[in-house]
């Protein structure tokens, strides 16, 4: 199979590596609006060649759109316009409702499978692409009832070969749950980094004293705004909802410290420890 990856950064590049290694595709075409990314992806042998999207679609069966959500909303209808029965189009966007609403009435909607691999790092660009990024991670497929049976089967087989867990959701519940487990983590990390940078003017002290706990908590603040601002924009309602709860919990802790109510604070932390039963 010839596969096209649109967007040769962390996710797209890592997918390109895995598709080749797992035997899903024997040739990878890269498409990227940034010529430097395309050149780097070829130099790193992540892709076999670079091409225009039009040329790539003429020669590919599988087209994976690994680009920010804003760009995805612009390009997906045009890709579906050119899609034939031989094509399977998959996205890897972190939000789903607006994407699926956009193409709901498209005559080639069945050739599209909406997907979200729950994997990644804080780094971006072709240099960030790594082997086995998706192994034992979760792939969410959304609103699969609207995808053609053969297109869905190709994606399900791909997920199986990548050794990923498969979960099915509708777009609404996907966006809600990713706000809780992914989007809030990133926005909290951005806020924590800004807090420390504002309060700790001596950056050398941060470097000297930063422990593993701080590094793991603030790690996500290295993530690209090009990717995350569109995610917050298109999942705004759910992110605001979970932010309200997060701010409430912070305010509660602040009030307990102000009152020096360490007994209640202790119980609050004990309650938070229940997350161990879920995340073992």
Examine the domain organization and report whether 62 and 47 are in the same domain: yes
Element (H, E) at 4: strand 2-6
Examine the domain organization and report whether 129 and 10 are in the same domain: yes
Q: With 80 as the cut, is the pLDDT of residue 36 above it?
A: yes
- φ/ψ region of 9 (left if φ > 0, alpha if ψ in -120 to 50, else beta) reads beta
pLDDT of residue 248: 96
Examine the domain organization and report whether 51 and 161 are in the same domain: yes
Confidence of residue 60 (pLDDT cuts 50, 70, 90): very high
Query: Can you tell me the mean pLDDT for 223-252?
Result: 95
Examine the domain organization and report whether 104 and 239 are in the same domain: no
Mean pLDDT estimate for the chain: 93
- φ/ψ region of 53 (left if φ > 0, alpha if ψ in -120 to 50, else beta) reads alpha
Q: With 70 as the cut, is the pLDDT of residue 212 above it?
A: no
Examine the domain organization and report whether 158 and 180 are in the same domain: no
pLDDT of residue 122: 85
Contacts of 121 (CB under 8 A, 6+ apart): 10, 128, 130, 133
Examine the domain organization and report whether 28 and 117 are in the same domain: yes
Query: Can you tell me the mean pLDDT for 81-107?
Result: 97
Measured in Å, how far apart are the chain's first and last C-alpha atoms?
38
pLDDT of residue 76: 97
Question: Which domain-ending residue is among 169, 204, 225?
Answer: 169
Number of alpha helices (DSSP H) and beta strands (DSSP E) in the chain: 14, 8
Examine the domain organization and report whether 29 and 97 are in the same domain: yes
**195 token code pair:** 């807090």
Give the tens place of pLDDT for each residue, 125-135: 999 999 999 99
- Taking every pair of Cα atoms in the chain, the longest distance, rounded to a whole number of angstroms, is 68
Domain span at 235: 174-278
Q: Cα 238 from chain centroid?
A: 16
pLDDT of residue 208: 63
Examine the domain organization and report whether 90 and 196 are in the same domain: no
Cα 134-135-139 angle, rounded to 5 deg? 55
Give the tens place of pLDDT for each residue, 184-211: 999 999 998 898 888 776 666 666 666 6
Give the tens place of pLDDT for each residue, 7-31: 999 999 999 999 999 999 999 999 9
Examine the domain organization and report whether 252 and 178 are in the same domain: yes
How many other C-beta atoms can be found within 10 angstroms of the C-beta atom of residue 212?
7
Number of domains in the chain: 2
**228 token code pair:** 């995350």
Q: Which of 30-39, 72-81, 247-256, 267-276 has the lowest mean pLDDT?
A: 267-276
């Amino acid at each position: 199979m010839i596969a096209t990856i649109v967007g040769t950064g962390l996710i797209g590049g890592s997918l390109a590596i895995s598709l080749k290694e797992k035997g899903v595709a024997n040739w990878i075409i890269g498409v990227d609006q940034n010529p430097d990314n395309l050149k780097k992806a070829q130099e790193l042998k992540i892709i076999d060649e670079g091409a225009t999207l039009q040329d790539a679609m003429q020669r590919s069966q599988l087209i994976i759109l690994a680009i920010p959500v804003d760009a995805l909303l612009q390009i997906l209808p045009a890709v579906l316009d050119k899609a034939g029965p031989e094509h399977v189009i998959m996205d890897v966007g972190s939000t789903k409702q607006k994407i699926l609403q956009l193409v709901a009435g498209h005559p080639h909607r069945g050739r599209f499978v909406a997907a979200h691999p729950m994997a990644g790092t804080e780094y971006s660009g072709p240099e960030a692409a790594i082997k086995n990024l998706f192994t034992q991670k979760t792939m969410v497929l959304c609103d699969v009832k609207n995808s053609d049976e053969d297109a869905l089967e190709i994606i399900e087989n791909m997920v199986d070969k990548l050794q990923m867990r498969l979960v099915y959701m509708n777009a609404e519940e996907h966006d809600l749950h990713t706000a809780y487990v992914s989007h809030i983590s990133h926005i909290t990390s951005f806020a924590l980094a800004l807090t420390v940078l504002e309060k700790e003017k001596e950056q050398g002290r941060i470097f000297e004293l930063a422990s593993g706990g701080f590094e793991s908590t603030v790690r996500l603040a290295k993530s690209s705004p090009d990717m995350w601002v569109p995610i917050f924009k298109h999942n705004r309602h759910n992110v605001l909802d979970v932010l309200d709860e997060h701010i409430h919990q912070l305010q509660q802790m602040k009030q307990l410290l102000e009152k020096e109510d360490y007994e209640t604070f202790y119980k609050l932390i004990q309650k938070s420890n229940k997350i161990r039963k879920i995340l073992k």
